[in-house]
Amino acid sequence: MMRSKYEVIVIGGGIIGCSIAYYLAKAQMDVALFDGGKIGAKTTQAAAGMLGAHSESDGDYSLFFPFARSSQREYTRLKDELYEVSGLDIGYRAGGILKLAFNEEEKQNLHSLLTQPTVQWLNFNEVNMLEHGISDDVLGAAYIADDVNVIPSSTCEAFAKSAQVLGASLFENCTVYSIGKGRNYIVNTEKGNVEAKHIVVATGVYSNHLFQNLGISEQLSPVKGESLIVQHDGPMLRYTLFHDKSYIVPRNNGKLVIGATMIQDDWSESICLQSVEGLIKKAKAMLPSSANWKIVGFTSGLRPTTFDGHPFIGRHPEEERILIACGHFRNGILLAPATGKMIRDLILNNEVNQEWVDAFRIDRRQMAAI
Ligand SMILES: Cc1cc2nc3c(=O)[nH]c(=O)nc-3n(C[C@H](O)[C@H](O)[C@H](O)COP(=O)(O)OP(=O)(O)OC[C@H]3O[C@@H](n4cnc5c(N)ncnc54)[C@H](O)[C@@H]3O)c2cc1C
């Protein structure tokens, strides 16, 4: 039953909204979460689930990396906590990523990654000892043991269920149309109006309508990603194989993900034959025996992308009780815990790392111009 008033309303039930609802419920806030469809059914279900703090940093060790690493570390604790609260397993799989290099130039490109104490260079023989059947064309790999993976849908569900167990109310099939102002905020939903003291907008790439309603000039754009879900009878891969933004990710449910395309500004979720052909080609180049694997499914989703590739996490520039948490691009699964904690701390006026506040604020483009 929907009440007429909550302390906090979270709009959007992807991994970001569900993580926020969880951390708020754990802090004993009175939370309701609204999703226009089914929880976790949009971009989140399409993700591979790599927690690629190192792998995705691309040499940016000053800003993205510490935030991402704090989130990655939080998962080591959180996986057990979510299981205890919800009884759901998030599919946390140790092993890590082998970021392959096929020639000297690609090895050079891994140089900055290899300066991290947690990353190690392995030559072909060492890689082959870890994972048999790697292509003979591989020169070696950067081995990142800490970049483990989870199953995104299970993780989102575990956040949502845990939030609910801790007292949050979840409403599916209930689109939010607009947010108005009275003494509190008035949220206009498909099933009527609801009041809240704090609002969190966590609507992923689908945020532009609410941004416009809230007087925010920034926009999110999609980068579509298509993937194959596969299975095979042989021994399971132990490590994620990664090369040139393509990957094969082994999951704890016996399946593997071969991903993913990067198609700019495509709002459709359709999957085209050319993409499937490209994914298979890249998988075979890393691991020739993958040609015999069986396709058991396809996924597609829209990565929510901001003007500079970093998410928007923080307060509305004029309305301090409206918070934004969108635009997590390739890393929403990785960044969900750190985002949930940061939004909780902003709402509770707890101390928050000021560098992160400045880096992720939604009006950073205007601030930089001043
Ligand atoms: C192919 C692919 C591979 C990826 N791999 C990884 C990976 O390995 N690791 C990683 O960390 N990240 C990965 N990502 C990125 C990750 O999936 C996203 O960053 C993350 O899922 C974004 O989550 P979200 O909650 O912001 O958005 P979403 O999951 O899209 O959730 C937004 C929710 O808001 C709801 N909504 C929208 N508008 C409204 C409204 N007006 N009212 C009510 N509800 C509304 C939607 O129904 C939706 O459920 C990948 C993405 C893709 C596409």
Per-residue model confidence as pLDDT tens for the chain (370 residues): 899 999 999 999 999 999 999 999 999 999 999 999 999 999 999 999 999 999 998 778 888 999 999 999 999 999 999 999 999 999 999 999 999 999 999 999 999 999 999 999 999 999 999 999 999 999 999 999 999 999 999 999 999 999 999 999 999 999 999 999 888 999 999 999 999 999 999 999 999 999 999 999 999 999 999 999 999 998 899 999 999 989 999 999 999 999 999 999 999 999 999 999 999 999 999 999 999 999 999 999 999 999 999 999 999 999 999 999 999 999 999 999 999 999 999 999 999 999 999 999 999 998 888 7
Domain membership flag for residue 92: no
pLDDT for res 62: 84
For residue 58, the model assigns a pLDDT of 78
Give the CA distances from residue 97 to residues 52, 90, 155, 232, in Å, rounded to whole numbers and listed in that order.
8, 18, 20, 20
Question: Closest residue (by CA) to atom 12 of ligand 1?
Answer: 331
- Tell me, yes or no, whether 74 and 12 share the same domain: yes
* pLDDT reported for residue 368: 84
Domain stop point among 305, 329, 347: 305
- Report the atom number in ligand 1 closest to the C-alpha of 260: 1
Dig out the tokens for 215 from the structure: 């007087």
Residues 75 and 162 placed together within one structural domain of the fold: yes
**CATH number, domain containing residue 142:** 3.30.9.10
- Residues 230 and 293 occupy one common structural domain: yes
Same domain, residue pair 142 and 170: no
The total number of residues written for the chain in this structure: 370
CA of 270 to the centre of ligand 1 (A): 16
| DSSP reduced 3-state for 179 | strand
Q: What is the pLDDT of residue 289?
A: 95
Q: Within 6 Å (CB) of ligand 1, which residues are found?
A: 11-17, 34-37, 41-44, 46-50, 175-176, 202-204, 206, 210, 225, 227, 259-260, 301, 303-304, 326, 328-334
**Residue 221 C-alpha to ligand 1 middle, in angstroms?**
12
Domain match, 209 and 280 both? no
CA of 124 from ligand 1 middle (Å) equals: 36
Q: Which of 272, 305, 338 corresponds to the end of one domain? A: 305
Q: Tell me if 174 sits within 8 A of 190, measured CB to CB.
A: yes
What pLDDT does 72 receive?
Answer: 98
Q: 353 and 270 in one domain?
A: no
The reported pTM is 0.98
Indicate which CATH number applies to the domain containing 197: 3.50.50.60
Q: How far is Cα 281 from Cα 39, in angstroms, rounded to an integer?
A: 33
How far lies 131's CA from each of 118, 239, 240, 291, in Å? 19, 7, 10, 17
Total tally of structural domains belonging to the chain: 2
Determine the atom of ligand 1 nearest the C-alpha atom of 210: 41
User: How far does the centroid of ligand 1 lie from the alpha carbon of residue 334, in Å?
Assistant: 12
For strand 192-201 and strand 185-189, is the pairing parallel, antiparallel, or unpaired?
antiparallel
Measured over the CA atoms of residue 332, residue 334, residue 335 and residue 336, the dihedral's sign is: positive
**What is the residue range of 239's domain?**
97-146+221-305
330 and 300 co-located in one domain: no
Please answer whether residues 280 and 228 qualify as being in contact, where contact means their C-beta atoms are separated by less than 8 angstroms. Answer: yes
* Residue appearing with tokens 């970093």: 310
Q: Are residues 330 and 191 in the same domain?
A: yes
- The reply to whether 191 and 212 lie within a common domain is yes
Identify whether residues 83 and 230 lie together within a single domain.
no
The answer to whether residues 258 and 337 belong to one domain is: no
- pLDDT score for 321: 97
